[in-house]
Each structure stands twice: as structure tokens, then as C-alpha cells.
């Protein structure tokens, strides 16, 4: 099936080429899964991507939680992700003033040189997006910002009024790739989708096939329900990387998400 048929208005109303790249990869792999690769050593990360790469549509990282990080090892890991057709998404949750965010794209980790997507809070105002975009421009690359419109953790302070302001600003900004929505609460997600329209993607953490919530206030919802409520990408961490058989679980998440996308179109 062609990406424009599968994604419908999400495809026709989205002007960003990186969003279309994601939608095409998702079609090719029949998966809406972004792996949250939250493992602490380079060996574990490499093993994980070797095992589950074919079932993923994107890769999410937390570069600062790797114990034995080196630029060389990271570059090898990123090459594996590219070879598997995956956009690399550093979940850095930038939140500073524009000029500092721009500098933070550089530094030890050099995020601007390998990340295609990053997350940001809009708490400091709209210049954070321009700062991050300037960071990519500084090295002649392009990237997209996912703004946190909602979060999956219990008791978070991103209330509906704040969400509405984030959406109003992000909807029309070409540097904004899309929004993070709360995958654990389909009703909240539906409201977010109504506010966003079809012009931007919504990616959702807080998704697990198992019943029940996670550690330290993490809340989970079902992948199918998240996609039916308007999510375009389910972000799954421990559901895959802590599984006894990560490849089998990644395949299960891929199937659940893809089937839900097909169902959404019916
Ligand atoms: P989990 O193991 O599937 O719970 O991992 C979820 C990942 O998504 C983890 O890397 C978090 O940093 C990330 N996350 C989240 O859980 N909730 C949020 O609201 C945002 C990111 Br934003």
C-alpha cells in the first residue's frame, strides 16, 4: 500500500519532508513503533538494535544515560540506525532560552550532528524551537522538534490550558515536527488530536501491551487504543528492551500498531 493511501490526510496536509520520510518508513516496515532504547551500555544498545531494528519505524535515545559513551561507539550505533532506515530521535527535553538551546545541540554529545528529531518543552517560550533549528543549521543539517504537549507520567503539570498554548504555537511553526501526547490516556489523546488537526504528527510514550502501570509514576495504555485515538507513533521502551525476547515483542508492537492504523482508516 502507498503511504498516501495509508496515512490519508496526515500525509496530504503535512508539508514536512521528514514527516513524510517517517510515514514512508512506517509503511515499508508495517510498524508505528519508535523504540525507546533505554539501555546503559553501548554493547547492550548495539545488541538491541541488531535484534529489533527490522520491526521499528524510529529510534529514540537518551544519550546521557549511557555509561561507556564515546563519540566513536555512538557513531557506529547511529550508522546501524540509519542502515535500518530509522530517524534518530534524542529525547533531550530541551527547555532553556533559545541561545543556550542552540549551544546545547553541540557540546560533548554533539546532538545536532546525529539527531533528526529532539524533544522540547515550550515553558521558556517559542525561541527554544528557533534555537534548536539554528543548532542544526550550524552544521548544515535539518531536523524537527517534537513539543511536549502532554506527558505520560502521573501528576505532571502539563494541564489542558498549557497543552492548548503549546498546540497553538507549534501547529504553524515549520520547525515543529509534531507533538508528544499521552499514550496512556486515549481520551486526552483524542482531545489533543482534535486541537492539532492533521498537519502535524503526534507521537506517544506511555504505551505497553501488558496491563498495569510502570515504575515511578509511569502510566501505560494499550497501543491499539493510542493509535485509534490519534497517535501516529507509539514510543515503547521496557515493553521491548526488558522483554525476555525483544524481537518477538517488537514484532507484536509493530503488528498491534499497524493493524490499528489500518483499522483507523476503515
Ligand atoms: P517505557 O519503558 O516504555 O516506560 O519508556 C518510555 C520512554 O519514553 C522513556 O525513554 C521516557 O523518557 C520517554 N517518555 C515518557 O515515558 N513519557 C513522556 O511523557 C515523555 C517521554 Br515526553
- Ligand 1 centroid – CA 205 distance (Å): 5
- Ligand 1 centroid – CA 188 distance (Å): 17
Indicate the SS3 state at residue 61. strand
Q: What is the spatial distance between Cα 57 and Cα 233, in angstroms, rounded to a whole number?
A: 8
CA-closest candidate to residue 202, choices 234, 224, 166, 249: 234
Q: Is the CB of 239 under 6 A from ligand 1?
A: yes
Q: Is the CB of 42 under 6 A from ligand 1?
A: no
Q: Is pLDDT at 221 greater than 80 in this prediction?
A: yes
Q: Note if 251 is an active site residue.
A: no
Is 92 exposed, middle or buried, given 0-12, 13-18 or 19+ CB atoms closer than 10 A?
Answer: buried
What pLDDT was estimated at residue 171? 96
Q: What is the spatial distance between Cα 13 and Cα 38, in angstroms, rounded to a whole number?
A: 33
pLDDT in tens, 160-170: 999 999 999 99
What pLDDT was estimated at residue 57? 98
- Ligand 1 centroid – CA 215 distance (Å): 11
CA-closest candidate to residue 101, choices 120, 117, 114, 88: 120
Architecture, CATH, for domain 3-89+145-265: Alpha-Beta Barrel (3.20)
Catalytic residue among 28, 80, 93, 171: 93
Residue 118 CA to its chain's centroid (Å): 8
CA-closest candidate to residue 221, choices 192, 245, 247, 257: 257
pTM of whole model > 0.85?
yes
CA-closest candidate to residue 127, choices 91, 164, 102: 102
Give the side-chain half-sphere CA count within 13 A for 241.
25
What pLDDT was estimated at residue 23? 97
pLDDT band of residue 49 (cuts 50, 70, 90) is very high
Q: Is the CB of 34 under 6 A from ligand 1?
A: no
pLDDT band of residue 179 (cuts 50, 70, 90) is very high
* Cα angle 243, 247, 253; round to 5: 80
Q: What is the spatial distance between Cα 116 and Cα 125, in angstroms, rounded to a whole number?
A: 22
Q: What is the number of residues in the chain?
A: 266
What pLDDT was estimated at residue 211? 77
Q: Is pLDDT at 203 greater than 80 in this prediction?
A: yes
By most ligand atoms within 8 Å of CB, the mutation choice from 33, 36, 241 for ligand 1 is: 36
Q: Is the CB of 238 under 6 A from ligand 1?
A: yes
| DSSP E strands, the chain | 33-36, 58-61, 87-94, 117-120, 144-148, 176-180, 201-204, 233-236
Domain boundaries, the chain: 3-89+145-265
pLDDT band of residue 1 (cuts 50, 70, 90) is confident
Cβ(200)–Cβ(177) under 8 Å?
Answer: yes
pLDDT in tens, 110-120: 999 999 999 99
Q: Which residues contact 72 (CB under 8 A, 6 or more apart)?
A: none
Amino acid at each position: 500500500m502507498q503511504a498516501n493511501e495509508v496515512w490519508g490526510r496526515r500525509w496530504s496536509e503535512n508539508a514536512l519532508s521528514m514527516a513524510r520520510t517517517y510515514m514512508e518508513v512506517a509503511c515499508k516496515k508495517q510498524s508505528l513503533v519508535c523504540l525507546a532504547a533505554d539501555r546503559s551500555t553501548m554493547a547492550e544498545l548495539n545488541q538491541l538494535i541488531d535484534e529489533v531494528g527490522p520491526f521499528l519505524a524510529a529510534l529514540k535515545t537518551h544519550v546521557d544515560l549511557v555509561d561507556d559513551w564515546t563519540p566513536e561507539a555512538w557513531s557506529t550505533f547511529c550508522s546501524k540506525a540509519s542502515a535500518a532506515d530509522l530517524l534518530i530521535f534524542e529525547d533531550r527535553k530541551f527547555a532553556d532560552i533559545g541561545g543556550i538551546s542552540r549551544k546545547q545541540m553541540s557540546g560533548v554529545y554533539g546532538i545536532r550532528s546525529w539527531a533528526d528529531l529532539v524533544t522540547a518543552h515550550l515553558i521558556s517560550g517559542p525561541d527554544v524551537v528557533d534555537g534548536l533549528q539554528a543548532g542544526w543549521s550550524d552544521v548544515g543539517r535539518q531536523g524537527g522538534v517534537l513539543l511536549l504537549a502532554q506527558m505520560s507520567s502521573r501528576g505532571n503539570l502539563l494541564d489542558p490550558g498549557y497543552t492548548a498554548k503549546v498546540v497553538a504555537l507549534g501547529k504553524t511553526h515549520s520547525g515543529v515536527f509534531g507533538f508528544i501526547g499521552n499514550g496512556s490516556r486515549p481520551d486526552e489523546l483524542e482531545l489533543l488530536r482534535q486541537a492539532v488537526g492533521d498537519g502535524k504528527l503526534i507521537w506517544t510514550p506511555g504505551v505497553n501491551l501488558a496491563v498495569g502501570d510502570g515504575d515511578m509514576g509511569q502510566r501505560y495504555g494499550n497501543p491499539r487504543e493510542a493509535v485509534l485515538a490519534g497517535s501516529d507513533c507509539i514510543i515503547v521502551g521496557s515493553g521491548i528492551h526488558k522483554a525476555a525476547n525483544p524481537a518477538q515483542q517488537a514484532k507484536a508492537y509493530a503488528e498491534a500498531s499497524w493493524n490499528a492504523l489500518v483499522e483507523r482508516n476503515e
